[in-house]
Amino acid sequence: MSKTVLITGSSSGIGRATAEHFQKSGWNVAATMRSPENSSGWKKTDNIFFVRLDVTDIPSIENAIKETLNKFGTIDAVVNNAGYGLVGAFEASTDEQIERQFRTNVLGVMNVTRAILPYFRERKDGTIVNVTSMGGRITFPLYSLYHATKWAVEGFSESLQYELSPFNIKVKIIEPGPIKTDFYDRSMDVMTRDGLTAYDDYIARAMPNMQKAGETAPGPEIVAKVIYRAVTDGKWKLRYPANASMVLSLRKALPDKAFQGFVKKAVLGKSRK
């Protein structure tokens, strides 16, 4: 029997590239998204299944798992990829934006993971892949809430691996660096507040440099390959960087002050006293 992977947030970007990579590699793929009826441009084959799943809607998660099992008979891996980026000065944030950021990026991962665990635990096998970011171990200006969610998922995943290993359930973390996807436009929510102009100069200096990093980055296929390797390598390895190894190595090697200086120079250019 072919193996099956269920992937959240498969409509575009890393999720879609990952679904297509597993599909080409002979896996059965449950490509889940909030609006599967809008899926287009896919190569339709017997091993691809489009199903609705909203990570903030628990009944939709349970139904997607049930439909996938009915379709393919098994689920061997789950890739928690769905998410979005909230960017801007924290002072400009609203309660609704903060809640949406955590509800999607943190609680969404937990909702899907909790729903699949009884099945994985009973069969004593399974792999859970959580797509975080290099921003789950380092930070950049204007991404405070996004970073907070990614750091939360890193801690959640690292702790979870201890309690799941006795059931032969592997937990993997994927840490992409800059990747050319719609994260930098359609999936990004920019925080603004009428009358709040104190951060305008800082934002005007920082945002173009950070946007440029995404525009010149490799495509999501590089992350899809890393996810596939994490699922199929049979190892108990926890973290898998993707286009992020150099920056993560710098963070490990440099003291805080030196690394913060590196970030400021990269984001803001020549420092001002």
CB of 11 closer than 8 Å to CB of 33: yes
* Structural contact between residues 159 and 165, judged by C-beta atoms closer than 8 angstroms: no
Using DSSP bridges, classify how beta strands 4-7 and 48-52 pair: parallel, antiparallel or unpaired: unpaired
Q: How many residues does the chain have?
A: 273
Residues 6+ apart with CB under 8 A from 52: 32, 33, 34, 35, 36, 60, 63, 64
Distance from the Cα of residue 130 to its chain's centroid? 6
Six token digits for residue 45 = 């084959």
Per the residue annotation, which of 146, 184, 199, 228 is the catalytic one?
A: 146
Asked if 17 contacts 243 with a C-beta cutoff of 8 angstroms, the reply is no
Residue 184 bears catalytic tag: no
Q: Is 88 in a helix, a strand, or coil? A: coil
Residue 207 CA to chain centroid, in angstroms?
21
User: Taking Cα atoms as reference points, which of 54, 65, 93 lies closest to residue 5?
Assistant: 65
Residue type, 139: T
Residue 201 to residue 87: CA distance in whole angstroms:
15
Are 198 and 88 contacting, i.e. CB atoms less than 8 angstroms apart? no
- Catalytic (active-site) positions: 146
